[in-house]
Amino acid sequence: MFGTAAPVGESILLSTQEPPGTLLDGHLTSYFESGTAALAAAIRLTRDSRQLARPHVIIPGYCCPDLVAACLYADVEIRVADTLPDAPFYCRQSLDAMLDSDTLAVICVNFCGLHEHIEHVKELLRARESKAIIIEDWAQYHPQASDTRMPIDGLAIRSFGKGKPASILTAGAVICSPNFKQQAGKSWENFEFAPPSLSPLKICAFNTILTPEVYRLALLFGVIRPGKTEFHPLKQVTRYHAADMQLLAANIAAWQRGPNQAQQAIVAHLEDHTGMQPINDLSHYRQSRLLRIPVLLQDKVHRDEVLRKGASLGLSPMYQKPIIEVAGVPTDAITRHDCKNAAVLADRLITLPCHGRLRATQINKLLQLISGSNAHD
């Protein structure tokens, strides 16, 4: 039977052989029910640590609407800075224009496993003598066992939700730099713990729907709607229940030792073909385990053509629009700089799947798609 590849999604283990102590080598300060809840808790922590007249948080012009939801829950104003035209990272001039003495934090997003240019952001903050905190959003990234990179000056967020690295359908985490650890304990002590939320039935259903044949049927009957980006408000922030921690540890360990052949094959093929442009130097694509492989096409027409040709291969246009144009985002709550670069980026960007469930035939078809992706005339 003909099947359709999912854009992301590793199988979730039901085994719990790994001890909870393997979770991020003890760097993790606190777990929450979702990555969005973790981000909201981190923003509230920074808000409580400083007395500002009108605290605001800066987010990039091309990002997940969950960043907006977290900011609104934490009761801070939102400012949107433009991205680069060929990468979802901050345009320095736009970020500079959004900074002032009431800037509480700058959220730097790791996109599919590729880090924001953090040193450039730090350099700008130093030049402006800004006390803004850098919050690194690692919802789409999880380090391999050999990766010891941790936030030095601020906070970082992780997500273990559906379609994320080391997914168990739920959970998020905040990693604190040493100067935040004491404050974190006080800030989060009033958050309630969520009840256990995982069940073997839910996990088996998720694993089943990821098989190409079932995934195709789920698309056909509207059970899932990938590529549809909408804003959903965050209604509550709860801590993650300890009963699920051992399963989380097992799935983190499984992801770290999981297969990476698809990413290696696709990145090597991109090096020899110019139809798909990487958003960063390909050396960065090799250094990290990627959730997806982001590439740029010539324009929206070319992008849509490639998406049509690769409809069964798990390609995705990601957010498709700048954050200020995403359905449901309350634009009256946002101050924005001109996001013309983010609009261009949204029209050109797609992601290629690279998860361990891809079959050899699907990987070969992806390589053929890359080979034939030269821009239209």
The torsion of the CA quartet 332, 336, 341, 344, rounded to 10 degrees, works out to: 0
Per-residue model confidence (pLDDT) at position 22: 46
Write out pLDDT tens, residues 288-328.
899 999 999 999 999 999 999 999 999 999 999 999 999 99
Query: What's the average model confidence in pLDDT over 336-362?
Result: 95
Look at 107 and 176; give whichever has higher pLDDT. 107
Write out pLDDT tens, residues 11-20.
898 876 655 5
Write out pLDDT tens, residues 18-35.
555 445 554 557 889 999
Write out pLDDT tens, residues 224-237.
877 689 999 999 99
Look at 376 and 186; give whichever has higher pLDDT. 186
Residues above pLDDT 90, as percent of the chain: 65
Per-residue model confidence (pLDDT) at position 377: 45
Query: Is the pLDDT at 351 greater than 50, yes or no?
Result: yes
Per-residue model confidence (pLDDT) at position 151: 55
Kindly give, in sequence order, each residue whose CB lies less than 8 Å from that of residue 233, ignoring residues fewer than 6 positions away: 69, 72, 73
Domains within the chain, CATH numbers bracketed: 20-223+230-371 (3.40.640.10)
Q: What average pLDDT does the structure give for the chain? A: 89
Q: Which amino acid is at 273?
A: H
